[in-house]
Amino acid sequence: MKNHILVIFGGMSREHEISLLSAANVIKHLSEEKYNVIMVGITKSGQWMRYRGSVEDIKSGAWSDHPLNLTANISQDRSIKGLIVLDEEKVSIEPVDVVIPVLHGKNGEDGKLQGLLEISGIPFVGCGTASSANCMDKVITDIILRNVGIKKANLVWFYFKEYEKNPEEIIKKIELNLKKYPLFVKPSNSGSSVGISHVKNREELKEAIFLAAEEDHKILVEESIDGKELECAVLGNKDLIASVVGEIEPLNGFYDYNAKYLDNTSALHIPARIDDNISDKIREIALKAYKTMGCTGLARIDFFLRSKDNEIILNEINSLPGFTDISMYPKLMDKMKIPLNKLLDKLISLALERDENDG
């Protein structure tokens, strides 16, 4: 019998459009022989819709106007384990074996949806509630990983309310601790470079804090690392695979939203142009970080290799990395001889084998 796989896409996130591209790519690569694919789109305003249209319409965003769309909810009731679909007066239930939340950023990658799925008792791909939430929050990730000896960029963090009360004191603390510009300003919870600025002086710093505050009330300011940008894909629950290391070469400044998804202003090198002993070390740190954060299923761990001293610095962990056809995670796994269709089979079986207490 075919497994019923629920792919959720879109979402109330600044990364809604990327999710559409990732989901279209995922759906295209799910085996029709093995799976009965059920699609649910979440609009930017939070409406859940059972969708029966084409993959192309997901990509373009036209899916949300499809005439056959029906309101649908995941049942939190464990005796149901499925989707409740509402067709005017009629209610029907579609059973679900595994959920693939192909959502990025807020409300999809940050533990909230994972919490709902854990309550529902339906297995799902990726990290659990706590690890998703901890990976999403850059300040929390920093506090946890620093504690196990993983090197991170120096940072100062604060709440925007504190800044509003006493901006001069916070600026002083930043300049005293981080010493020199340029600096990176980031919302603690965000993604795809939204709300992130690279600032060269105090004036730009002040502006960037307001920009970051539009995304999150918790803000961090970080020293700027000059070096290579490297990424490692990790797969597994207990027996883990760390991929070859990939390198991003941003061709105009930093790897911002446009460079990531919209234009071709960055080049990917797989494997990265680094020595073997450094990539071994990166894989080792990636596994340590994955375990420490309690990740399951998959995560992409991002690093810098600082030019001046070859120091490996962990930047961030993405618990639901991009799955578009130009995304690093599927490319790295492909290099490990796990093409996307096989990768999806593996992620589904990892979801099914994951224990409730696995985090």
Ligand X SMILES: Nc1ncnc2c1ncn2[C@@H]1O[C@H](COP(=O)(O)OP(=O)(O)O)[C@@H](O)[C@H]1O
CA nearest to 192, candidates 78, 310, 103: 103
For residue 17, report the phi and psi dihedrals to the nearest 5 degrees: -65, -35
**What is the Cα–Cα distance from 330 to 39, expressed in whole angstroms?**
21
Q: How many residues does the chain have?
A: 359
Q: Is residue 192 a contact point for ligand X (CB under 6 A)?
A: yes
CA nearest to 220, candidates 131, 315, 295, 312: 315
In the complex, the smallest distance separating the C-beta of residue 197 from ligand X, rounded to whole angstroms, is 9
Q: Which stretch binds ligand X (CB under 6 A): 18-26, 64-72, 192-200, 202-210?
A: 192-200
Q: Which stretch binds ligand X (CB under 6 A): 11-19, 77-85, 144-152, 188-196?
A: 188-196
Shorter beta-carbon distance to ligand X: residue 97 or 109: 109
- Figure out which of the listed residues 99, 135, 150, 153 binds ligand X, where binding follows CB under 6 A: 153
In the complex, the smallest distance separating the C-beta of residue 359 from ligand X, rounded to whole angstroms, is 22
Q: Is residue 222 a contact point for ligand X (CB under 6 A)?
A: yes
Shorter beta-carbon distance to ligand X: residue 139 or 171: 139
- Figure out which of the listed residues 19, 141, 190, 279 binds ligand X, where binding follows CB under 6 A: 190
Which string of b and e fits 228-256 if b means at least 16 CB within 10 Å? bbbbbbbbbbeeeebbbbbbbeeeeeebb
Q: Is residue 243 a contact point for ligand X (CB under 6 A)?
A: no
In the complex, the smallest distance separating the C-beta of residue 224 from ligand X, rounded to whole angstroms, is 4
Q: Which stretch binds ligand X (CB under 6 A): 65-73, 124-132, 142-150, 250-258?
A: 250-258
Q: Is residue 229 a contact point for ligand X (CB under 6 A)?
A: yes
Token pair, residue 104, equals 């990025």
Shorter beta-carbon distance to ligand X: residue 5 or 317: 317
Strands of the sheet containing 241-250, edge to edge, are: 266-269, 241-250, 227-236, 297-306, 312-318
**CA pseudo-torsion sign 355, 104, 138, 287:** positive
Shorter beta-carbon distance to ligand X: residue 82 or 321: 321
Q: Is residue 196 a contact point for ligand X (CB under 6 A)?
A: yes
- Amino acid at site 229: E
In the complex, the smallest distance separating the C-beta of residue 52 from ligand X, rounded to whole angstroms, is 33
- Figure out which of the listed residues 35, 184, 290, 323 binds ligand X, where binding follows CB under 6 A: 184
**What is the Cα–Cα distance from 320 to 325, expressed in whole angstroms?**
15
- Figure out which of the listed residues 9, 35, 48, 255 binds ligand X, where binding follows CB under 6 A: 255
In the complex, the smallest distance separating the C-beta of residue 350 from ligand X, rounded to whole angstroms, is 24
Query: What DSSP line would sit under 261-325, residue for residue?
Result: IIS--EEEESS-SS-HHHHHHHHHHHHHHHHHTT--EEEEEEEEEETTT--EEEEEEESS---ST
User: Strand 70-74 to strand 82-87: parallel, antiparallel, or no bridges (unpaired)?
Assistant: antiparallel
Q: Name the residue with the smallest CB distance to ligand X.
A: 255
Q: Is residue 279 a contact point for ligand X (CB under 6 A)?
A: no
User: Strand 312-318 to strand 266-269: parallel, antiparallel, or no bridges (unpaired)?
Assistant: unpaired
Q: Is residue 225 a contact point for ligand X (CB under 6 A)?
A: yes
**What is the Cα–Cα distance from 329 to 321, expressed in whole angstroms?**
7
**CA pseudo-torsion sign 197, 257, 255, 26:** positive
Q: Is residue 265 a contact point for ligand X (CB under 6 A)?
A: no
Q: If binding means CB under 6 A, how many residues of this protein chain bind ligand X?
A: 18
Whether the CB-CB separation of 298 and 125 falls below 8 Å is answered with yes
Shorter beta-carbon distance to ligand X: residue 194 or 347: 194
| Residues between 288 and 327 that touch ligand X (CB under 6 A) | 302, 315-316
Provide the binding-site residues for ligand X, judged by CB under 6 A. Answer: 153, 184, 186, 190-193, 196, 222, 224-225, 229, 250, 254-255, 302, 315-316
